[in-house]
């Protein structure tokens, strides 16, 4: 079974600084998708960024980018110019191609200090 | 833009009672998913429906059942509620396969007392 590991239960960053959240996963499949979801105190799960495993280019969405290392099965999220509104729980998630369910990591709680 | 609508937002039930949660997916999304998130936990997959048929099943207790109706809305029915069922229940929708990521609803907070 696929597993997703987030080794940092909590992280903090100063406003306007950059922070990187770690995620590793375990799979024997070649066709899969990786996601980062944000869950603020409002509890809504919001899709931040998506990466297709067959694409070598790292995905980028404005201030959010990933470092996808397929051989190492690593998928870290970099948040640049951190803002107070970035404070949330961040979940890394895996989806196997052809499957429907997402497998989530345990999450990293990000605090942004003014 | 229309989002995934869940109702109710909050629900308080007593042990052994029954609860019904509703989910209205984004128009044209053909797949609906249900997840359970316990306090301080990551979301756990319960069940999914594609075109009104159950398509995948996770760690859903036998006391729970779900279905998707002709208008694509879905309901999660939970019977003989236990204290451990207290959690946030998310519904999400997507186009088939979920490869593009889901859109989640705001969740239903179920408290069993």
- Range A38-43 average pLDDT: 91
What count of residues does chain A have?
Answer: 114
Q: For residues A86 and A90, what is the distance between their CA atoms, to the nearest angstrom?
A: 10
The average pLDDT across B84-110 equals 90
pLDDT band at A106 (very low <50, low <70, confident <90, very high): very high
Residue A103: its chain B contacts at CB < 8 A? 45
Q: Which two tokens stand for residue A73?
A: 């099965």
Q: A100: nearest CA in chain B?
A: B97
Give the pLDDT score at A101.
86
Q: Per-residue pLDDT tens for A53-103?
A: 999 899 999 999 999 999 999 999 999 999 999 999 999 999 988 778 899
**Residues of B with CB below 8 A from A105's CB?**
42
Q: Which residue of A has its CA nearest to B55?
A: A100
Tell me which chain A residues have a C-beta less than 8 angstroms from the C-beta of B33: 100-102
The pLDDT value recorded for residue B103 is 92
The per-residue pLDDT for A11 is 98
Q: Determine the residue of chain B that is closest to A106 in CA distance.
A: B42
B109, pLDDT greater than 90? yes
The predicted structure's pLDDT at residue A2: 82
pLDDT at B2 over 80: no
Q: What share of chain A is helix, strand, coil (3-state, %, to 5)?
A: 5, 55, 45
Average pLDDT of chain B, as a whole number: 93
Q: Does any CB of chain B come closer than 8 Å to the CB of residue A104?
A: yes
Chain B contact for A101 (CB, 8 A cutoff): yes
Q: What share of chain B is helix, strand, coil (3-state, %, to 5)?
A: 5, 50, 45
Q: Is the pLDDT of residue A111 over 80?
A: yes
Query: What integer pLDDT is reported at residue B100 of this predicted model?
Result: 77
- Yes or no, beta carbons of A101 and B43 under 8 Å apart: no
Average of per-residue pLDDT across A23-38: 94
pLDDT of residue B48: 94
Q: pLDDT-derived band of residue B1, with 50, 70 and 90 as boundaries?
A: low
Task: Give the pLDDT confidence of B52-82 residue by residue, as tens digits.
Answer: 999 989 989 999 999 999 999 999 999 999 9
d(CA A97, CA B60): 22
| pLDDT mean over A38-42 | 91
Structure-token pair, residue A104: 């989530």
């Amino acid at each position: 079974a696929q597993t997703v590991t987030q080794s940092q239960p909590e992280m903090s960053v100063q406003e306007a600084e950059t922070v990187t959240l770690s995620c590793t996963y375990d799979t024997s499949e070649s066709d899969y998708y990786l996601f980062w979801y944000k869950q603020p105190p409002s509890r809504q799960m919001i899709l931040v960024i998506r990466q297709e495993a067959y694409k070598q280019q790292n995905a980028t969405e404005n201030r959010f980018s990933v470092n996808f290392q397929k051989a190492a099965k690593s998928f870290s999220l970099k948040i640049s110019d951190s803002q107070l509104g970035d404070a949330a729980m961040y979940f890394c998630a895996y989806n196997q191609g052809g499957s429907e369910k997402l497998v989530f990591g345990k999450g990293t709680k990000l605090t942004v200090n003014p | 833009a229309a989002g995934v609508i869940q109702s109710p937002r909050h629900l308080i039930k007593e042990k052994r009672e029954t609860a019904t949660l509703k989910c209205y997916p984004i128009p044209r999304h053909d797949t609906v998913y249900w997840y359970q998130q316990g306090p301080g936990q990551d979301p756990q997959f319960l069940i999914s429906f594609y075109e009104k048929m159950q398509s995948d099943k996770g760690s859903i207790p036998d006391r729970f059942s779900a279905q998707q109706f002709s208008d694509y809305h879905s309901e999660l029915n939970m019977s003989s509620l236990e204290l451990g069922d207290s959690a946030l229940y998310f519904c999400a929708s997507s186009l088939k396969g979920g490869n593009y990521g889901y859109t989640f609803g705001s969740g239903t907070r179920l408290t069993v007392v």
